[in-house]
């Protein structure tokens, strides 16, 4: 059940820090000695696409973190239905009265059709929600995947076999379908049938489910890497000198696994962003009135033929974010692992 996977994202060789570091760093020889991390940073800074993408990604994260502050300075919030106070904002068909979705100096990105909320603040908070969930899911998935993968690879034998089979099964699950199917299951555990599901529970359920189906691929990759590293001389040496398994895992193995872990998580984050939005789009994840990229697109889909502007803001901002993050991921991969081919 394990077809050989393409190694596009997989570094073909492990960076052998122990060799690069081995002459003790007290030999300057006129040149300053450079750690692998410093070398990677230098390579990354030369990559113009990567640097620009990094700025875009940072911009999105700053917006997400500072959303309440920006909204305060701007003087509006994403929940107020401005049209109910000022009916002149929408026309007789409940579409924005002004041109381009009602964009004006007061409502920068226009007004939402029907309910008349402010698109600019709604988008700010949408980015905040979506990125928050995706980041949390990425961290949780990476931690779980690393722990399971390294344990399986390091212990080997029966544990490894068992974990390998579990990974096979998890990877055979139709994951989108399971997201959709399990959300009600999780809600059902915490909330009585007729009550509303609180927003925090929706977010938590989503994060847990994403991690529950996401850990397998990173665990499989790391397991393979650890199997290779375990036989290497520097690990043998550590064992012979009486290092505890904890020390071997944290001091010998993990530093060598940093590259694949970072690469995998940069691939994971944009995937989680789009998956989260997709679920909200289907009406299974976050729901209106919680601001969310997917919720916005779902709202936009209801009246895209009449007011495309409203759909363009969440759609384009998401494309820009995902594209920038993918480019950034490529550059990080090139910087950390120059030997790998794309």
Partner 1 sequence: MFRFLVRRVIGAMVILLIISAITFWLFYAVPRDPAMMSCGKNCTPEALAQIRSNLGIDKPIPVQFWEWLQGAFMGREYAGYGHCDAPCLGYSFANREPVFGTIMDRLPLTLSLAFGAALVFLVLGVGAGMIAALKQGKFLDKFASSASLFGSSLQIYFVGYIAMYFLVSKMGVLDQPSYTPLTENPGAWFSGLLLPWLVLAIIFTANYTRMTRSQLVEQLSEDYVRTARAKGLSQANVFFRFAWRGAMGPIVTVFGIDLGTLIGGAMITEATFSLQGIGRLAVASVNQSDLPMLMGVTVLAAGAIVFFNIIVDAVYALIDPRIRLA
80 binds partner 1 (CB under 8 A): no
Tokens 């052998």 appear where?
16
242 binds partner 1 (CB under 8 A): no
342 binds partner 1 (CB under 8 A): yes
58 binds partner 1 (CB under 8 A): no
304 binds partner 1 (CB under 8 A): yes
Query: Which is closer to partner 1, CB of 19 or CB of 181?
Result: 181
Q: Which of 150, 134, 135, 137 is nearest to 218 (CA)?
A: 150
**Six token digits for residue 28:** 């300057």
237 binds partner 1 (CB under 8 A): no
319 binds partner 1 (CB under 8 A): yes
Which parts of 174-233 interact with partner 1 (CB under 8 A)? Answer: 174-178, 180-185, 188-189, 193
Residues ≥6 apart with Cβ < 8 Å to 333 = 9, 11, 263, 266, 340, 342
Please tell me the distance from the alpha carbon of residue 48 to that of residue 32, in angstroms, as a whole number: 25
315 binds partner 1 (CB under 8 A): yes
Query: Which is closer to partner 1, CB of 217 or CB of 259?
Result: 217
Query: Which is closer to partner 1, CB of 212 or CB of 219?
Result: 212
Question: Least distance in Å: CB of 267 to partner 1?
Answer: 11
CB 80 within 8 A of CB 120: no
12 binds partner 1 (CB under 8 A): no
Which parts of 153-182 interact with partner 1 (CB under 8 A)? Answer: 168-169, 172-178, 180-182
Query: Which is closer to partner 1, CB of 68 or CB of 184?
Result: 184
297 binds partner 1 (CB under 8 A): yes
289 binds partner 1 (CB under 8 A): no
48 binds partner 1 (CB under 8 A): no
Among residues 70, 143, 282, 287, the one that binds partner 1 under rule CB under 8 A: 282
Query: Which is closer to partner 1, CB of 103 or CB of 322?
Result: 322
| Footprint on this chain of partner 1 (rule: CB under 8 A) | 1, 3-8, 168-169, 172-178, 180-185, 188-189, 193, 270, 274, 277-278, 281-284, 294, 297-298, 300-301, 304-305, 308, 311, 314-315, 318-319, 322-323, 326-327, 330, 341-342
């Amino acid at each position: 059940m394990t077809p050989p996977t393409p190694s596009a994202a997989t570094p073909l060789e492990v960076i052998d820090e122990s060799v690069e570091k081995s002459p003790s760093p007290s030999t300057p020889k006129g040149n300053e000695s450079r750690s692998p991390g410093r070398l990677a940073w230098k390579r990354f800074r030369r990559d113009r696409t990567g640097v620009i993408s990094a700025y875009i990604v940072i911009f999105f994260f700053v917006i997400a973190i500072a959303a309440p502050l920006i909204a305060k300075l701007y003087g509006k919030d994403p929940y107020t239905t401005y049209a109910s106070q000022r009916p002149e904002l929408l026309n007789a068909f409940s579409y924005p009265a002004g041109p381009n979705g009602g964009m004006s100096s007061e409502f920068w990105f226009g007004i939402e059709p029907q309910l008349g909320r402010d698109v600019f603040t709604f988008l700010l908070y949408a980015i905040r929600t979506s990125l928050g969930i995706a980041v949390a899911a990425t961290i949780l998935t990476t931690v779980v995947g690393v722990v399971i993968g390294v344990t399986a690879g390091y212990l080997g034998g029966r544990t490894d076999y068992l974990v390998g089979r579990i990974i096979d099964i998890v990877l055979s699950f139709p994951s989108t379908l399971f997201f959709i199917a399990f959300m009600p299951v999780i809600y059902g555990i915490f909330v009585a049938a007729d009550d509303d599901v609180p927003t925090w529970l929706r977010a938590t359920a989503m994060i847990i489910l994403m991690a529950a189906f996401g850990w397998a691929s990173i665990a499989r990759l790391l397991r393979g890497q650890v199997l290779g590293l375990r036989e290497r001389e520097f690990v043998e040496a550590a064992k012979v000198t009486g290092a505890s398994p904890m020390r071997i895992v944290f001091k010998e193995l993990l530093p060598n696994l940093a590259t694949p872990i970072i690469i995998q998580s940069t691939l994971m984050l944009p995937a989680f962003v789009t998956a989260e939005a997709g679920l909200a789009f289907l009406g299974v994840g976050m729901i209106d009135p919680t601001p969310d990229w997917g919720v916005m697109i779902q709202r936009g889909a209801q009246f895209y033929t009449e007011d495309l502007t409203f759909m363009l803001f969440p759609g384009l901002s998401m494309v820009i974010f995902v594209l920038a993050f993918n480019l950034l991921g490529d550059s990080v991969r090139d910087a950390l692992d120059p030997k790998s081919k794309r």
